[in-house]
Amino acid sequence: MKVSAPRLRAASAGFTLMETLVMLVLVSMAATMMFQMLNSYRIAQQRIAAQAGQMDRSSLFEVWLVDGVRGLRADPAKPFVGSRSSFEGVTLNPLYGSGGAPSAIKWQLRATADGGEIAYAEDGKDRWSMPLRDFDGARFVYFDRDGQQHDQWPPAQGLQESLPAGVGFVRGTGVGERVRLASVSGPLIVHDDPFELEPE
């Protein structure tokens, strides 16, 4: 009878200790790179959101300026006064008050440590402000009924209108100058009789 020699068992399939360590090093490097990419993505997203928010705020500020000017009303108790750096008067389109209710407003350009800002106040309370990148050339201008531009209101020559026909917000200087013009829709002269028509 022939006795066969015992067979050696085949080596079990699997990772050796060295292969496991190499795999762990590769996985940790991949995880580190992934977290770095996610952090870069988060920072980029925050910057884009901040720029978009600034652009939205700039657009809103221009809309608010136009609405407030459009609602200006001549009020003998608080006459409209304007200079290159600010204007104030009474409007029926306030940002915070009820629409149609007369509210005292003030738009002002102010210098800050970072350059400058535009600020809005309503009924004597500062409501908000926004930094301006091109503050050096920023100013308000006023237009009379004939389209003549003035740096202050009432003009030095003493026109009889209580309100300008339009208010412009100028940014920049020279070729890069931009003007946002807002027209006053109400009567430009104070009337004692509310049913009296404005003279032509």
Domain boundaries, the chain: 56-183
| Residues whose CB is less than 8 angstroms from the CB of residue 124 and which lie 6 or more positions away in sequence, other chains included | 104
Residue 132 CA to residue 180 CA, distance in Å, equals: 14
pTM value surpassing 0.75 = no
If phi > 0 it is left, if psi is from -120 to 50 it is alpha, else beta; for residue 185 that is alpha
Q: What is the pLDDT along the chain (200 residues), one digit of tens a residue?
A: 565 655 555 556 677 888 889 999 999 999 988 888 888 778 777 776 666 555 556 677 888 888 889 999 988 888 899 999 999 999 998 888 887 889 999 999 998 888 889 999 999 899 888 888 777 888 999 998 888 999 999 887 666 678 899 999 998 777 778 888 898 887 777 655 554 555 55
Q: For the segment 59-113, what is each residue's pLDDT rounded down to a tens digit?
A: 778 888 888 899 999 888 888 999 999 999 999 988 888 878 899 999 999 988 8
| Residues whose CB is less than 8 angstroms from the CB of residue 152 and which lie 6 or more positions away in sequence, other chains included | 82, 83, 84, 142
Residue 101 CA to residue 123 CA, distance in Å, equals: 12
Residue 65 CA to residue 107 CA, distance in Å, equals: 8
How is residue 54 written in tokens?
A: 């600034």
What separation in angstroms does the CA of 84 have from each of 39, 137, 155, 170?
A: 46, 11, 12, 10
pLDDT of the residue at 175: 74
Residue 41 CA to residue 128 CA, distance in Å, equals: 31
pLDDT of the residue at 12: 60
What's the residue count for the chain?
200
How is residue 101 written in tokens?
A: 């209710």
pLDDT of the residue at 158: 60
Question: Do residues 180 and 169 make contact, with C-beta atoms less than 8 angstroms apart?
Answer: yes
Question: Do residues 133 and 115 make contact, with C-beta atoms less than 8 angstroms apart?
Answer: yes
Residue 60 CA to residue 81 CA, distance in Å, equals: 24
